[in-house]
């Protein structure tokens, strides 16, 4: 099931994504006692984090942070205090500002110089947290994703090996154009989620989004491979990003 929302601006996007986060969290905690969410990197999630912090400040009972389990869909191969670290961004804008137990935060250890080991360690983290057996795939309550101007999502970059990895759950992915390793969830993990929210903001995303919604090749625009197997896909797009769409 897919849901496409166009909002006026980044603020509207953040508020819509926060609404979904809060409703899904309440449902998951009510259903099975916890809410598992994988956060996204990039600049757009900062606005979502600010809304979640403000709503938590106004109503401390709105979100039961003690039952939120936070993971990361991808990470840069850098230490946690590095300016490019997804964990650092999330910690500074959200995690350090809400009452979530540190034991509920599962970061990728990008400071390890061996990117493959980082991926293997995080795979074991998923196995333990979701009590996986063999090649079972975890079912996240929510995976938050963005899209780059090149059509990548998580760290599934065009032309990189991770785009076609269908066996492993977490891998180290060499991104040639950036000359760096990224650690990322693979398509099977992303597409097993109960809900995926794709947040897309900015004029620089318009051309890629038009191609994604049109006949663009998924190998060129890997976000097209985000097709939940039995979950909900929610696109939240601001008008700047949607300007190339006919319906915008």
Asked, for residue 140, whether it belongs to a domain, the answer is: yes
Asked, for residue 247, whether it belongs to a domain, the answer is: no
pTM above 0.95, yes or no: yes
Asked, for residue 248, whether it belongs to a domain, the answer is: no
Range of the domain at 215: 2-242
The per-residue pLDDT for range 85-124, each reduced to its tens digit, is 999 999 999 999 999 999 999 999 999 999 999 999 999 9
Query: Which CATH number covers residue 120?
Result: 3.40.50.1360
Asked, for residue 206, whether it belongs to a domain, the answer is: yes
Q: Which residue(s) pair with 200 in the sheet?
A: 237
The per-residue pLDDT for range 119-136, each reduced to its tens digit, is 999 999 999 999 999 999
H-helix or E-strand containing 111? none
The per-residue pLDDT for range 18-38, each reduced to its tens digit, is 999 999 999 999 999 999 999
Asked, for residue 179, whether it belongs to a domain, the answer is: yes
In the chain, how many domains are there?
A: 1
Q: Are 198 and 226 in contact (CB under 8 A)?
A: yes
Q: How far is CA 37 from CA 70, 159, 220, 238, in A?
A: 5, 27, 27, 23
């Amino acid at each position: 099931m897919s849901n496409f929302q166009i909002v006026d601006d980044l603020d509207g996007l953040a508020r819509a994504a926060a609404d979904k986060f809060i409703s899904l969290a309440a449902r998951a905690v009510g259903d099975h006692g916890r809410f598992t969410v994988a956060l996204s990197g990039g600049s757009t999630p900062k606005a979502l984090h600010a809304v979640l912090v403000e709503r938590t400040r106004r109503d401390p009972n709105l979100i039961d942070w003690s039952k939120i389990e936070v993971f990361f869909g991808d990470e840069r191969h850098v230490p946690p205090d590095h300016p490019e670290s997804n964990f650092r961004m999330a910690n500074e804008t959200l995690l350090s500002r809400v009452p979530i137990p540190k034991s509920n935060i599962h970061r990728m250890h990008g400071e390890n110089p061996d990117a493959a080991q980082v991926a293997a360690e995080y795979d074991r983290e998923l196995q333990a947290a979701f009590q996986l057996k063999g090649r079972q795939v975890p079912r996240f309550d929510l995976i938050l994703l963005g899209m780059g101007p090149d059509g990548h999502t998580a760290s599934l970059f065009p032309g990189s090996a991770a785009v076609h990895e269908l066996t492993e759950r977490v891998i180290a992915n060499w991104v040639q154009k950036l000359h760096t390793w990224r650690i990322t969830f693979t398509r099977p993990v992303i597409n097993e989620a109960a809900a995926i929210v794709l947040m897309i903001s900015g004029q620089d995303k318009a051309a890629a989004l038009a191609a994604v919604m049109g006949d663009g090749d998924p190998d060129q625009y890997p976000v097209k491979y985000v097709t939940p197997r039995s979950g909900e896909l929610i696109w939240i797009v601001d008008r700047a990003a949607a300007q190339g769409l006919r319906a915008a």
